[in-house]
Amino acid sequence: MSKTDHISGPVDVDYTNEHIARVTLERPDALNAYNESLLRALVSTLQTLNDDPDIRAIILTGSGDRAFCSGVDLKETPLTPEMTFAEYEEGLGLFQNVVRTLRTMETPVVGEINGYALGAGCDTALACDIRIVSEDAVIGETFIDVGFIPGDGGAYLLPRLIGEARAKELIFTGRKLEGEEIVEWDLARECVPADKLLEVVEEFAIELASRPPVALKLSKQLVSESFDVDLETAFEHATRAQRICSQTDDHAEAVAAFNENRKPEFTGQ
Protein backbone atom coordinates (compact mmCIF):
# COMPACT_ATOMS: atom_id res chain seq x y z
CA MET A 1 0.00 0.00 0.00
CA SER A 2 1.46 3.31 -1.08
CA LYS A 3 1.66 6.18 1.38
CA THR A 4 0.02 8.30 -1.32
CA ASP A 5 -3.10 6.11 -1.30
CA HIS A 6 -6.35 7.41 0.16
CA ILE A 7 -8.33 4.76 2.04
CA SER A 8 -12.03 5.44 2.53
CA GLY A 9 -14.87 3.79 4.43
CA PRO A 10 -16.30 4.36 7.92
CA VAL A 11 -12.78 5.65 8.61
CA ASP A 12 -10.74 7.58 6.04
CA VAL A 13 -6.94 7.51 5.99
CA ASP A 14 -4.82 10.11 4.25
CA TYR A 15 -1.05 10.26 4.36
CA THR A 16 0.21 13.77 5.04
CA ASN A 17 3.66 12.47 4.17
CA GLU A 18 5.43 9.13 4.39
CA HIS A 19 5.59 9.32 8.19
CA ILE A 20 2.20 10.84 9.15
CA ALA A 21 -1.31 9.44 8.72
CA ARG A 22 -4.53 11.41 9.21
CA VAL A 23 -7.42 9.21 10.37
CA THR A 24 -10.88 10.72 9.90
CA LEU A 25 -14.14 9.43 11.35
CA GLU A 26 -16.37 9.51 8.31
CA ARG A 27 -20.02 9.87 9.40
CA PRO A 28 -20.58 13.63 9.06
CA ASP A 29 -24.36 13.34 8.64
CA ALA A 30 -24.49 11.72 12.09
CA LEU A 31 -21.91 14.12 13.59
CA ASN A 32 -19.45 11.22 13.39
CA ALA A 33 -21.35 9.33 16.08
CA TYR A 34 -20.26 5.77 16.76
CA ASN A 35 -22.05 2.74 15.40
CA GLU A 36 -20.61 -0.76 15.40
CA SER A 37 -19.11 -0.41 11.94
CA LEU A 38 -17.25 2.78 12.82
CA LEU A 39 -16.00 1.40 16.14
CA ARG A 40 -14.58 -1.73 14.54
CA ALA A 41 -13.08 0.15 11.59
CA LEU A 42 -11.35 2.69 13.83
CA VAL A 43 -9.67 0.05 16.00
CA SER A 44 -8.58 -1.95 12.96
CA THR A 45 -7.20 1.17 11.25
CA LEU A 46 -5.25 2.30 14.30
CA GLN A 47 -3.76 -1.15 14.80
CA THR A 48 -2.70 -1.34 11.15
CA LEU A 49 -1.04 2.06 11.27
CA ASN A 50 0.66 1.23 14.56
CA ASP A 51 2.19 -1.83 12.93
CA ASP A 52 3.56 0.24 10.03
CA PRO A 53 7.20 1.08 10.82
CA ASP A 54 7.09 4.10 8.51
CA ILE A 55 4.29 5.84 10.43
CA ARG A 56 5.71 7.98 13.23
CA ALA A 57 2.65 10.08 14.15
CA ILE A 58 -1.10 9.79 13.67
CA ILE A 59 -3.70 12.56 13.52
CA LEU A 60 -7.25 11.64 14.58
CA THR A 61 -10.17 13.87 13.62
CA GLY A 62 -13.79 13.92 12.49
CA SER A 63 -15.27 14.60 9.08
CA GLY A 64 -16.93 17.96 8.46
CA ASP A 65 -16.71 21.10 10.53
CA ARG A 66 -19.26 20.30 13.24
CA ALA A 67 -17.99 17.30 15.16
CA PHE A 68 -14.97 15.25 16.13
CA CYS A 69 -17.28 12.54 17.48
CA SER A 70 -20.64 13.25 19.09
CA GLY A 71 -20.74 9.96 21.01
CA VAL A 72 -22.90 6.93 20.34
CA ASP A 73 -25.45 6.91 17.53
CA LEU A 74 -28.64 6.20 19.48
CA LYS A 75 -30.30 4.94 16.27
CA GLU A 76 -27.57 2.35 15.67
CA THR A 77 -26.22 1.63 19.14
CA PRO A 78 -24.65 -1.78 19.81
CA LEU A 79 -26.07 -1.60 23.35
CA THR A 80 -29.62 -2.27 24.57
CA PRO A 81 -31.06 -2.82 28.07
CA GLU A 82 -32.48 -6.18 26.98
CA MET A 83 -29.05 -7.71 26.44
CA THR A 84 -27.61 -10.31 28.74
CA PHE A 85 -24.63 -9.16 30.77
CA ALA A 86 -22.27 -11.03 28.45
CA GLU A 87 -23.83 -9.39 25.39
CA TYR A 88 -23.71 -5.96 27.02
CA GLU A 89 -20.09 -6.50 28.02
CA GLU A 90 -19.25 -7.37 24.43
CA GLY A 91 -21.10 -4.32 23.09
CA LEU A 92 -19.51 -1.88 25.53
CA GLY A 93 -16.18 -3.52 24.79
CA LEU A 94 -16.37 -2.12 21.26
CA PHE A 95 -16.15 1.39 22.73
CA GLN A 96 -13.56 0.40 25.30
CA ASN A 97 -11.37 -1.09 22.58
CA VAL A 98 -11.02 2.34 20.97
CA VAL A 99 -9.64 3.84 24.18
CA ARG A 100 -7.59 0.72 24.93
CA THR A 101 -6.00 0.86 21.47
CA LEU A 102 -5.19 4.57 21.67
CA ARG A 103 -3.65 4.15 25.12
CA THR A 104 -1.58 1.05 24.39
CA MET A 105 -0.42 1.61 20.81
CA GLU A 106 3.16 2.79 20.46
CA THR A 107 2.64 5.49 17.83
CA PRO A 108 1.72 8.91 19.25
CA VAL A 109 -1.74 10.19 18.33
CA VAL A 110 -2.68 13.87 18.05
CA GLY A 111 -6.38 14.59 18.47
CA GLU A 112 -7.56 17.27 16.04
CA ILE A 113 -10.75 18.30 17.83
CA ASN A 114 -12.77 20.20 15.26
CA GLY A 115 -16.21 20.34 16.92
CA TYR A 116 -18.31 18.27 19.30
CA ALA A 117 -16.45 15.62 21.32
CA LEU A 118 -19.17 14.34 23.62
CA GLY A 119 -19.71 11.17 25.64
CA ALA A 120 -17.77 8.37 23.98
CA GLY A 121 -16.33 10.96 21.61
CA CYS A 122 -14.97 12.86 24.59
CA ASP A 123 -13.32 9.71 25.90
CA THR A 124 -11.76 9.07 22.49
CA ALA A 125 -10.35 12.59 22.53
CA LEU A 126 -9.00 12.12 26.07
CA ALA A 127 -7.25 8.90 25.01
CA CYS A 128 -5.23 10.76 22.38
CA ASP A 129 -1.72 11.67 23.51
CA ILE A 130 -2.08 15.36 22.65
CA ARG A 131 -5.18 17.39 21.81
CA ILE A 132 -5.35 20.56 19.75
CA VAL A 133 -8.81 22.14 19.55
CA SER A 134 -10.53 24.68 17.37
CA GLU A 135 -12.46 27.63 18.75
CA ASP A 136 -15.59 25.67 17.77
CA ALA A 137 -14.64 22.60 19.80
CA VAL A 138 -16.94 21.38 22.58
CA ILE A 139 -15.81 18.63 24.96
CA GLY A 140 -18.07 17.03 27.53
CA GLU A 141 -18.58 13.88 29.61
CA THR A 142 -22.31 13.99 28.89
CA PHE A 143 -23.18 10.47 30.06
CA ILE A 144 -25.00 11.77 33.15
CA ASP A 145 -27.49 13.55 30.88
CA VAL A 146 -28.88 10.18 29.78
CA GLY A 147 -28.53 8.45 33.15
CA PHE A 148 -25.24 6.75 32.25
CA ILE A 149 -21.67 6.69 33.56
CA PRO A 150 -18.47 7.09 31.47
CA GLY A 151 -18.30 3.47 30.39
CA ASP A 152 -15.40 3.68 27.99
CA GLY A 153 -12.56 5.16 29.97
CA GLY A 154 -13.55 8.68 30.94
CA ALA A 155 -13.60 8.01 34.68
CA TYR A 156 -10.07 6.58 34.35
CA LEU A 157 -8.56 9.15 32.00
CA LEU A 158 -10.06 12.41 33.19
CA PRO A 159 -8.66 12.37 36.76
CA ARG A 160 -5.21 11.63 35.37
CA LEU A 161 -5.42 14.67 33.12
CA ILE A 162 -7.01 17.30 35.39
CA GLY A 163 -7.20 15.81 38.90
CA GLU A 164 -9.95 14.05 40.84
CA ALA A 165 -12.03 17.04 41.97
CA ARG A 166 -12.27 18.70 38.57
CA ALA A 167 -12.91 15.34 36.89
CA LYS A 168 -15.78 14.68 39.27
CA GLU A 169 -17.25 18.10 38.51
CA LEU A 170 -17.31 17.46 34.77
CA ILE A 171 -18.60 13.89 35.11
CA PHE A 172 -21.22 14.62 37.79
CA THR A 173 -22.66 17.67 36.00
CA GLY A 174 -22.16 16.82 32.33
CA ARG A 175 -20.72 20.30 31.87
CA LYS A 176 -19.37 21.04 28.41
CA LEU A 177 -16.17 22.98 27.87
CA GLU A 178 -15.85 25.13 24.78
CA GLY A 179 -12.91 26.52 22.81
CA GLU A 180 -10.26 28.24 24.93
CA GLU A 181 -11.95 26.92 28.07
CA ILE A 182 -10.73 23.44 27.10
CA VAL A 183 -7.14 24.66 27.28
CA GLU A 184 -7.79 26.43 30.59
CA TRP A 185 -8.89 23.07 32.03
CA ASP A 186 -5.64 21.46 30.78
CA LEU A 187 -7.43 19.23 28.29
CA ALA A 188 -5.74 20.58 25.17
CA ARG A 189 -2.35 21.91 24.13
CA GLU A 190 -3.82 24.94 22.40
CA CYS A 191 -6.96 26.43 20.87
CA VAL A 192 -6.80 27.91 17.38
CA PRO A 193 -9.24 29.37 14.85
CA ALA A 194 -11.11 26.68 12.95
CA ASP A 195 -9.52 27.65 9.64
CA LYS A 196 -6.04 27.23 11.17
CA LEU A 197 -6.63 23.91 12.95
CA LEU A 198 -5.48 21.65 10.12
CA GLU A 199 -2.27 23.63 9.62
CA VAL A 200 -1.39 23.77 13.32
CA VAL A 201 -2.06 20.08 13.89
CA GLU A 202 0.01 19.07 10.87
CA GLU A 203 2.91 21.24 12.02
CA PHE A 204 2.87 19.58 15.42
CA ALA A 205 2.62 16.09 13.90
CA ILE A 206 5.62 16.90 11.70
CA GLU A 207 7.54 17.93 14.81
CA LEU A 208 6.72 14.60 16.47
CA ALA A 209 7.61 12.64 13.34
CA SER A 210 11.00 14.37 13.22
CA ARG A 211 12.01 12.89 16.58
CA PRO A 212 13.74 9.48 16.94
CA PRO A 213 10.85 7.00 16.60
CA VAL A 214 12.09 4.30 19.01
CA ALA A 215 12.69 6.81 21.80
CA LEU A 216 9.34 8.48 21.11
CA LYS A 217 7.40 5.23 21.29
CA LEU A 218 9.14 4.06 24.45
CA SER A 219 8.60 7.48 26.05
CA LYS A 220 4.87 7.19 25.36
CA GLN A 221 4.80 3.76 26.97
CA LEU A 222 6.60 4.96 30.10
CA VAL A 223 4.33 7.97 30.57
CA SER A 224 1.14 6.03 29.86
CA GLU A 225 1.90 3.45 32.54
CA SER A 226 3.25 5.94 35.09
CA PHE A 227 0.06 6.17 37.18
CA ASP A 228 -0.28 2.40 37.36
CA VAL A 229 3.17 1.23 38.49
CA ASP A 230 5.28 1.95 41.55
CA LEU A 231 8.54 3.90 41.38
CA GLU A 232 10.80 0.85 41.37
CA THR A 233 8.87 -0.71 38.50
CA ALA A 234 9.04 2.61 36.65
CA PHE A 235 12.83 2.64 37.16
CA GLU A 236 13.09 -0.94 35.91
CA HIS A 237 11.08 -0.20 32.76
CA ALA A 238 13.00 3.05 32.17
CA THR A 239 16.33 1.22 32.40
CA ARG A 240 15.18 -1.35 29.85
CA ALA A 241 13.90 1.37 27.52
CA GLN A 242 17.06 3.44 27.85
CA ARG A 243 19.19 0.40 27.07
CA ILE A 244 17.16 -0.23 23.92
CA CYS A 245 17.57 3.41 22.86
CA SER A 246 21.31 3.33 23.51
CA GLN A 247 21.72 0.58 20.92
CA THR A 248 19.81 2.30 18.11
CA ASP A 249 21.31 3.89 15.03
CA ASP A 250 19.26 6.98 15.83
CA HIS A 251 21.09 7.47 19.13
CA ALA A 252 24.41 7.21 17.35
CA GLU A 253 23.17 9.64 14.71
CA ALA A 254 22.05 12.14 17.36
CA VAL A 255 25.47 12.07 19.02
CA ALA A 256 27.26 12.41 15.68
CA ALA A 257 25.00 15.29 14.63
CA PHE A 258 25.66 17.08 17.91
CA ASN A 259 29.42 16.69 17.54
CA GLU A 260 29.26 17.83 13.90
CA ASN A 261 26.91 20.76 14.66
CA ARG A 262 24.23 19.61 12.21
CA LYS A 263 20.61 18.51 12.29
CA PRO A 264 20.19 14.74 12.86
CA GLU A 265 18.37 12.53 10.37
CA PHE A 266 16.51 9.74 12.13
CA THR A 267 15.61 6.48 10.42
CA GLY A 268 13.78 4.64 13.20
CA GLN A 269 16.57 2.07 13.46
Identify the domain boundary among 194, 209, 224. 209
Q: Do 173 and 88 belong to one domain?
A: yes
CATH number, position 126: 3.90.226.10
Rounded Cα gap, residues 246 and 163, in angstroms: 35
Q: Residue 243 domain-assigned?
A: yes
Q: Do 228 and 150 belong to one domain?
A: no
Strand ranges across the sheet with 57-62: 11-17, 20-25, 57-62, 109-113, 130-134, 190-192
Q: Residue 56 domain-assigned?
A: yes
Q: Residue 69 domain-assigned?
A: yes
Residue 1: how many other CB atoms lie within 10 Å: 9
HSE at residue 136, side-chain half, CA atoms within 13 A, is: 14
Q: Residue 266 domain-assigned?
A: no
Q: Residue 267 domain-assigned?
A: no
Task: State how many domains the chain has.
Answer: 2
Cα 246 to Cα 16, 160, 207: the distances in Å are 30, 30, 22
Per-residue pLDDT for the chain (269 aa), expressed as one digit of tens each?
455 455 567 999 999 889 999 999 999 999 999 999 999 999 999 999 999 999 999 999 999 989 999 999 888 787 788 889 999 889 899 999 999 999 999 999 999 999 999 999 999 999 999 999 999 999 999 999 989 999 999 999 999 999 999 999 999 999 999 999 999 999 999 999 999 999 999 999 999 999 999 999 999 999 999 999 999 999 999 999 999 999 998 898 888 988 888 888 888 77
User: 175: which DSSP letter?
Assistant: P
Which residues form the domain of 143? 11-209
Cα 106 to Cα 29, 46, 48, 139, 255: the distances in Å are 32, 10, 12, 25, 24
Q: Residue 16 domain-assigned?
A: yes
Q: Do 171 and 225 belong to one domain?
A: no
Query: Is the dihedral angle over the CA atoms 176, 179, 185, 188 positive or is it negative?
Result: positive
CATH number, position 255: 1.10.12
Q: Do 117 and 197 belong to one domain?
A: yes
